[in-house]
Chains A and B, each alone.
Chain A
Amino acid sequence: MSGTKTAIEEGVLPTLTALLVALVAGDLLILSYGQSPSEVWRLMLSGTWGNAYGIGQVLYKATTLVFTGLSVAIGLRAGLFNIGAESQLAAGGFAAGVLGLLLPVSLTPWLAIPVCLLAALLGGAMVGFVPGVLRARFGAHEVIATIMLNFIVLAFLNWAISATGLAVTETLHTPVVLSTAVPRLAAYVPMFHGSAANGTILLALLTVVIVAWLLFRARFGYELRAVGLQPMAAESSGIRVPRVWITAMVLAGGVAGLGGTNFVLGYKNYFEDGFSGGAGFLGIAVALVGRNNPFGVLLAALFFATLSQGGLAIHALVPKQMVEVLEGIVILAVAVSVPEVRRLLRSRPAKAAVTTPVQA
C-alpha cells in the first residue's frame, strides 16, 4: 500500500536526518575540543551499552523519560502542547514522597507502593488539570499556561520542602522511607549492581502498552485523536472537545506524575527539590523523536537516556554538556525536517490520482 509506505517514510526519515545532523554537529564540537570523534563516540557506546552498570543507568534514565515522553505525546495527540511535564513530574514525585512519609511504616509494600503510585498519578494529574481547564473554559493557550505553571509549581514545591519542616535539616529532601521502596533490578539481576535501574521500569513498559491501547484501540483515543487532528470535525460529530482537552491534560499530567516514582520510590526513596532536573523538558524531545507513538517514545527514551549517560562516559575527554547541545540539535533537526519531508513526499506526483479541476 503506497499510503502506508509514505506514512512510514514520513515517520522515519526526519529522525534519520536528525541523527545524521547531530552526528556531524557532535564531530565539530569534539574537534573543537581537540579530541578524536571516533574515539569519543566509541567511549560513549562502551560507557553505556558496553557494560552492565552502563546499561542499568541507561534503563534508569530512560524510565523517567518514557513517562514524560508519553505525557507530551498524549497531549500532542489531542492537539495540545504540554510543556508542563517538568512540573507534573515533580508534583507526582512530591505526592509519592510525602504520602510515603504519612503511611505507617509497618504497612506491607504490596499496599504501600500502589498507594504511592496512585498519589503520584493524582499529583501530576492535578497539575495537568489546570491548563486543561484554562484551555477548555477560557481558551487560554496551553503552552503559555503550562510554562507559567511550571514556575508556579516548582516554586511551590521549593517552599513546601524548605519552609514547612518536611525536609531533613540542612537538605532539600524528605527523610528516607524504605517501606515504599520499589526493588532495584540488581536485587534480581546481580550484574546491574550499583545502577539505579529499578522495578519502575516494568511500570513504564506497562504504561507504554496501556497508553498505546488507549490511543489506538479505545474509543477514548479515537475521540482524543479526532480532536487533535480536526477539532471542528470532532465537535460536529458530537464529541465534547473541551472535555477531551481536560481529560487529555489530566491524563498527560498523571502519566508524567507517575514518572516521579522512578526517582522517589525506586532510586533515592525520598523526594528531593529539583529532582526532575529537566527530564520533563526532555520529554518533549522524546515525544517528538518518537513521533507521538508510545512504542516510538520507548525507543526515543532509550536514545536520549543513552546520550545523557554517554555524556558522563565521555566527560574525561569532552565536557558532558556536549550531549545537551546534541539533544537540542536533534530536536531542531526533527522539527525542521518533519514538514520538509512531508512536503517532499506529498509533492511526489501521485500516479493514481484523478485530475479533477480544483474549486476555482
Chain B
Amino acid sequence: MSLDTPAGHLAVRMSHVQKFFGPVHANRDASLDVAVGEIHAVVGENGAGKSTLLRVLSGMYAPDGGTVEVFGRDVTGWRTANAIAAGVGMVHQHFMLVPTLTVAENVVLGREPMTGLTYDRASAESALGKLSRETGLACVPSRMVSELSVGEAQRVEILKTLYRGAKLLILDEPTAVLSPPEVGELWRVLRTVRDAGATIVLVTHKLDELMDVTDRITVMRQGKTVTGMRTSETTPAAIATAMVGRAVRLDASGMPVGAEGREVELARAVPDAGGPPDQMLISSAHDRIALSVPAAITSTLAPTPAYTDTPRLRLTAVTVAGARSKTAVDTLSLTIAPGEILGLAGVEGNGQTELIEAIAGLRPVTSGTITVDGTDITKYSIGKRLAHGITHIPEDRHARGLVLDYSIADNLILGRQKQFSSSGAINRARTLAFAEDRIKAFDIRPTDPNLPARALSGGNQQKIVVAREMPADFRVLLAAQPTRGVDVGAIEFIHDQLRAARRSGKAILLVSAELHEILALSDRVAVMYRGKIVTEMPRAEASEEVLGPWMTGAQS
C-alpha cells in the first residue's frame, strides 16, 4: 500500500486501524493521513468502513488495533469529550440535534455559558449570533430545532463544532440529504472554514462532488485503505478503479463500467443479455439516446417482450403526507407495464419512501388513485394488496423485512401464514418443506430452516426477504434499496432474480440510492425530486450526468 504522504504538518495520522463489531470486521487495516488546512475526502463503496474509521477518529468508537494521532499527539482510544476538547468536531450523517431544544441550546450543549447557577441564555444566543456572522452560516438562535429544514439543521451541526473551536471538522456524507443549492452553500461554507485555518475530512461516495471541492482523497475498500491521491492529479476513472479494486472503464455516459461484471456491483451499469426491452421502440420522444449507448450494449439488447396497453401498476395524481410535509408525494402519476422495471432515482428524502409505503398500504393516500391491472387498490388493506399480488422488499430489512428472532422458515411464510395453516394452526411440515425448497432455490446459507434469521449475514437475510416477496404469482414488486448493505455475491443474485421476474412479465418499481443499480436494472428511469417525478426517460438515454441535475433540482 502506497499512500501519498502529504508534505507539511499532519492534522491526522491514523495507522493500521482495526475495528470489530461482533463478528463483523469493519476496519481491517485502515490508515489515513490528513495535512493541516486541506479538505480531504474518504471515499469507498457502501460498507467499505468509511464511517467507522471517522467515528474512531472522533472518539465515538475505540479502535481494536492501530494508532490514532491528531495534531501530532497520540490519542488512540480517546473519547468524544477528549476529541471535542482537542478541537475535533464531527457532523453526523443523521443529525445529532435535540428537536425540543432551541438552536442556541443545541449549539452550546455541553459547553454552556454560565452566570452563577444558571445557564446564560442571552450570552449563548449572542455568541452564536456572532459566530454566525463571522462564518456566514445563517441561523436564528432562538428557533426550535424541530422547525428547521434539513439544510438549516446541518448548518446548526457545523456551528456546533465551530462553537467548540473545532480545528478539524469531520463530515459523514454531508450532502446525502441536501438539495443542490444547499450543497453549493455547504461547499462555500467549508471552503471558508478551511481558509480560516481548519482542516476538513469528509466521507462521500459521490465522485463528481469531490473532484470540485477536495484537495486530497483516500480510498477505502472492504475495511482497508487502498490508496491516497491528490485530487488535482487524478480522474474519476482512477478513483473508481481504486474503489472497485480493478480496472474499470467508463462508458459513454461517464459511468464506471466493469469489464466482466461478475463480482463487482459498480459493473452493473451495463445491462446484460436478456436485459431491458429496446427502449427506442417504445419511446419515440427520446430517440436520440442510441448515440450515448456504447455499441456493445445495443448489440446485446434482448427482443422486446409484448407490451400491453394496460399497465400493471398505475398511479394517478397520488398525494401522500409524510412526517415533515403534507405533500411528501405530490400529485404524482406513473405507470409500469408488465415486464418493465421502472427505476426511481433521487436524493434520499424526496418522497421515495413515502411513495413506496403508500403503494404497499403502509401509509394512507391523501388523494389520487392506485390501480393494479385495472383494479383500484387505493383503499385496500395491506393484506388485501398482498393477496392481489403486490409485494414489497422494504428498505429497512431489520425493522420491516424480517422478524429477526423468527426462524428462516417462519420468516419465509410471513404474510402468507394463512396459506400455511389448517384449522387455526400453522402446518409445520408444510412450512418446513416450503422453506427447504426456497432455501435451495435462493441459495440461502446456512441451510437449516430452523435457525433464527438473526444468525444470518446481511446478504442471506435479504435473500429470505426476496424469496418471500417474489413468489410465482405476484404482479407488482416494490423493491426499495433491495441490495443495501448486502455482500457482492448476494447483490448479483438479487439482480438476477429481478431480471428473471421482468422476463416473466412482472412490473417492478425499483428505488435505490445507488444510481448504478438503477442504471443496471431499469428499462425506464424516473427522477423524484421534492415529491414529484421531474423527468422520465428510457434507460438508454439515462446516465449519471443526465440524471444528476434532475436529482439535485438543478434542472427542471
Q: Bound state CA distance, A101 and B44, in angstroms? A: 77
Given contacts A219-B426, A233-B414, are A357 and B26 in contact (CB under 8 A)? yes
The interface residues of chain A lying within 8 Å CB-to-CB of B382 are 235-238
B85 at interface, CB cutoff 8 A: no
Question: Which of A122-130, A244-252, A346-354 binds B?
Answer: A346-354
Is the CB of B251 closer than 8 A to any CB of chain A? no
Tell me whether B425 and A229 are in contact (CB under 8 A).
Answer: no
Contact status A226-B425, CB under 8 Å: no
Contact of A357 among B47, B386, B405 (CB under 8 A): B47
User: Which A residue sits closest to B484, measured CB to CB?
Assistant: A359
The main secondary structure of chain A at its interface with chain B is loop
- B383 adjacent to chain A (CB < 8 Å): yes
Task: Tell which of A3, A233, A346, A355 touches B451, judged by Cβ atoms closer than 8 Å.
Answer: A3
B285 interface residue, CB < 8 Å from A?
no
Residue among B49, B383, B414 making CB contact with A358, cutoff 8 Å: B49
Indicate if the CB atoms of A3 and B406 lie closer than 8 Å.
Answer: no
In-complex Cβ contact of B457 among A218, A238, A356 (8 A): A356
Within 8 A of B (CB), among A172-220: 213, 217-220
Cross-chain contact B48 with A219 (CB below 8 angstroms): no
Evaluate whether A236 and B47 lie within 8 angstroms (CB atoms) in the complex, with A219-B417, A222-B417, A359-B485 already known: no
By size class, the interface of chain A is 35 or more
CB-based nearest B residue for A2:
B455
Chain B, 296-350, CB within 8 A of any chain A CB: none
Q: A238-B381, A238-B383 are in contact. Are A354 and B23 (CB under 8 A)?
A: yes
Q: Which residues of B contact A240 (CB under 8 A)?
A: 381, 383
| A234 interface contact, C-beta 8 A | yes
Measured in the bound complex, the distance between the Cα atoms of B411 and A226 in whole Å is 10
Question: Which candidate, B109-117, B276-284, B394-402, B500-508, is the interface stretch facing chain A?
Answer: B394-402
Q: Is A238's CB under 8 angstroms from B415's CB?
A: yes
- Contact partner of A233 among B220, B223, B400, B426, CB < 8 A? B400
The reply to whether the CB of A232 lies closer than 8 angstroms to some CB of chain B is yes
Tell me, yes or no, whether B25 is within 8 Å of chain A by CB.
yes
Chain B hits for A273, CB < 8 A:
none
| Residues in B neighbouring A222, C-beta threshold 8 A | 410, 417, 421, 426
Please name all residues of chain B whose beta carbon is closer than 8 Å to the beta carbon of A1 when the two chains form the complex: 448, 450-451
A355 near B23 with CB under 8 A, answer yes
B452 at the interface (CB under 8 A from A): yes
Q: Choose one: A3, A229, A346, A353; the contact of B403 (CB below 8 Å).
A: A229
| Contact residues in A for B401 (Cβ distance below 8 Å) | 233, 236
Nearest chain B residue, comparing its CB with the CB of A351? B23
State A3–B487 Cα separation when bound (angstroms).
Answer: 23
- Of the candidates B24, B47, B403, B446, the one whose C-beta lies within 8 Å of that of A226 is B403
| B487 adjacent to A356 (CB under 8 Å) | yes
Contact with A along B359-372 (1 / 0, CB 8 A): 01010000000000
Question: Among A213, A223, A238, A347, which residue has its beta carbon within 8 angstroms of that of B386?
Answer: A238
B26-51 interface (Cβ within 8 A of A): 26, 28, 44, 46-51
8 A-B pairs within 8 Å (CB atoms) are namely A218-B425, A222-B410, A238-B382, A346-B22, A354-B23, A359-B51, A360-B46, A360-B47
Taking Cβ atoms with an 8 Å cutoff, the residues of A that contact B are 1, 3, 213, 217-220, 222-223, 225-226, 229-230, 232-240, 346-347, 349-350, 352-360
